[in-house]
Chain A
Amino acid sequence: MSIKPFHALREKASLFIRRHRITTALVVALFLLSLPYVLTSAYHLRVATLVGIYVLLVSGLNVIIGFTGMFSLGHAAFYGIGAYTSAMLTTMAGWNFWLALPVAGIVAGAFGTLIGLATLRLRRVFLAFTTLGFGEIIRILILNLRSFTRGPMGISGIPIPRILGWTFTGRGYYYLILVLATVTVATIYRMYHSRVGRALIAIREDETAASSMGINVFGYKVLAFTVGCFFAGIAGSYFAHFQRYISAESFANLESFAIITMLALGGTGSIIGPILGSTILVLIPEIFRFLMQYRGVIYGLTLIVVIVYRPGGLANVKGVFEKPKPPKRPGKGRFSFGRRRTVVIPGETV
């Protein structure tokens, strides 16, 4: 399979976007805003909303894996913590959704901080194993803490959000997740291009060098982990009120792998990647409905194919799955112009 035509297309598209920034932004905004009026079936609108939830989850995980290079395999656990916090607060304590939403994010973020403090001194594969274990612990806790979580019965009857006396409909849900996803992506974009973002990337590239630059490596790792978990908590709360019924199975390790696959497909370390990845991987199983039972297979295959053939993902940004650099052929990828080395000094060795 040749991916050359794809390359050419992507180059052209990115050039077009760079030349017509404002036009592109307006078109995208118009498209997203008018979508609920184009998609007439309630089911399609639900799928679009689901994409938004995954944008939150994948973008958050991108801060952890893509920017900072920490392999967390338990992201769904924080998604679950957010969902259960919000569901318990609204159904059992009678809280309002608008208060439960940020609190769910904060609780998930606080769990992220605690787990981070305990595990982030571990590197690579050890961190991956501990977070995998944590994901399993959360699932088992949800199943067994019956007095809080109602165990395997799950929590049902989670209230529909209301605003100014108006109860949410499909369109209301869609617009709210659109706002949340936009805020999330914009926040992460700002963070990426700040002092903090540079510090995180420095840590991903080389921890020792980063700390000799005066960067508090451990502190920033915990920060990145907390930020990622916070957004997962927000996504969880939203999911609980969207689905109106939650159970432990929605937040098992399979879900963590789905989120990681979306991130890998879109491109780790990229801003646009998580959006592409979640859109494609939510849509594919929905479009090919008859393949729904093979969802896990599709995700697993996608992950393998991406890592072997296209470690930069669709966005083709150098992320964590990239192999140690072989000499690059010029003319490939977005940064190709930078790879053509101009050797100025004769007799120089590299």
Chain B
Amino acid sequence: MSLLRVTDLQVHYGAINALKGVSLEVEEGSLVTLIGANGAGKTTLLNTISGAVPGSAGSILFRGDEILNELPHLITRRGIAHVPEGRKIFGELTVEDNLRVGAYVQKDKKRINTLIERNYELFPRLAERRRQEGGSLSGGEQQMLAIARGLMSDPTLLLLDEPSLGLAPILVEMVFELIKEINGLGVSVLLVEQNANIALQTATFGYVLETGRITLADNAAALLNNKAVQNAYLGVG
């Protein structure tokens, strides 16, 4: 049984049909990416999984339980952490308080401190900035903070939305190295990206989403060599 199984998911924004029957799977421990152009429905899919946007038909099974249209905070408690597009860190809180808010579902203080320490090991830059307000960090640091905050709920599945957005190439590479490292710790990752190249290099499996439909699904390496993908997303050919 796969960790996450989305079947025939449909989402409507009023009269607009944003997802027209999407199906995908994330196996336990894997790093899966979903690539696609602007407006394909990538963010909508993540938002529906995390409960922020209601789905109109289909099913989302997490460890065999139906979670479609469950309240967002309950979905987080099941072990799904969503790192939203555009980071959305809490600018007025310090770095450490941002992390503590992320650990909101954890009740055990010792556990929270362990998780904070683990994050500081993963992101030494955040340790240096722990007393600084989140809003004063640079773009790359904010992205790291957003990911670190997502990890504070100790999730089984991490949903990452466009972690490369607005970052310089050198930082993009750094962030994706960290994503691999996090995956290595046993956290399954569903990664949504416009930067198809680096996403496919990082992930093990990939899906291509086009205007609300999955058009391709294959091993990431195979997608990298796929002619259609190369033409449409990798700027090759």
Q: Judging by beta carbons under 8 Å apart, are B139 and A349 in contact?
A: yes
CB distance from B45 to the nearest CB of A (A): 15
Closest residue of chain A to B103, judged by CB? A213
Closest residue of chain B to A212, judged by CB? B82
Q: Judging by beta carbons under 8 Å apart, are B93 and A201 in contact?
A: yes
CB distance from A338 to the nearest CB of B (A): 5
Interface size for chain B: under 10, 10 to 19, 20 to 34, or 35 or more residues?
35 or more
A223 to B171, CA, bound (A): 41
Q: Judging by beta carbons under 8 Å apart, are A348 and B168 in contact?
A: yes
The residue from B132, B133, B139, B149 contacting A348, defined by CB atoms under 8 A apart: B139
CB-CB under 8 A from B51, the residues of chain A are 211
A212-B81, A349-B167 known; A198 vs B101 contact (CB < 8 Å):
yes
Q: Which of A1-9, A34-42, A77-85, A202-210 contacts B (4 or more CB under 8 A)?
A: A202-210
Closest residue of chain A to B131, judged by CB? A338
Q: Which of A14-22, A48-56, A339-347 contacts B (4 or more CB under 8 A)?
A: A339-347
Complex interface residues of chain B between 183 and 233 (CB less than 8 A to chain A): none
Q: Total contacts A to B, CB within 8 angstroms? A: 105
CB-CB under 8 A from B125, the residues of chain A are 344
Q: Judging by beta carbons under 8 Å apart, are A318 and B90 in contact?
A: no
A180 contacts the other chain (Cβ, under 8 Å)?
Answer: no
Q: Judging by beta carbons under 8 Å apart, are B52 and A212 in contact?
A: yes
B58 contacts the other chain (Cβ, under 8 Å)?
Answer: no
CB-CB under 8 A from A329, the residues of chain B are none
A215-B73, A347-B170, A350-B138 known; A199 vs B104 contact (CB < 8 Å):
yes
Complex interface residues of chain B between 77 and 92 (CB less than 8 A to chain A): 77, 81-82, 84, 88-92
The residue from A208, A216, A339, A350 contacting B88, defined by CB atoms under 8 A apart: A208
A214 contacts the other chain (Cβ, under 8 Å)?
Answer: yes
A217 contacts the other chain (Cβ, under 8 Å)?
Answer: yes
A208-B84, A212-B82, A325-B91 known; A345 vs B101 contact (CB < 8 Å):
no
CB-CB under 8 A from B73, the residues of chain A are 211, 213-217
Closest residue of chain A to B102, judged by CB? A213
Closest residue of chain A to B132, judged by CB? A338
The residue from A205, A216, A347 contacting B90, defined by CB atoms under 8 A apart: A205
Extra contacts, 13 of them, besides A211-B51, A348-B139 (Cβ < 8 A), are: A198-B97, A198-B101, A198-B104, A209-B89, A210-B101, A212-B81, A213-B102, A340-B136, A345-B138, A345-B140, A348-B138, A348-B140, A348-B167
Q: List 16 A-B contacts (CB under 8 A).
A: A195-B104, A201-B92, A206-B90, A212-B76, A212-B81, A213-B102, A213-B104, A213-B105, A214-B104, A338-B136, A341-B136, A343-B138, A345-B140, A348-B171, A349-B168, A350-B166
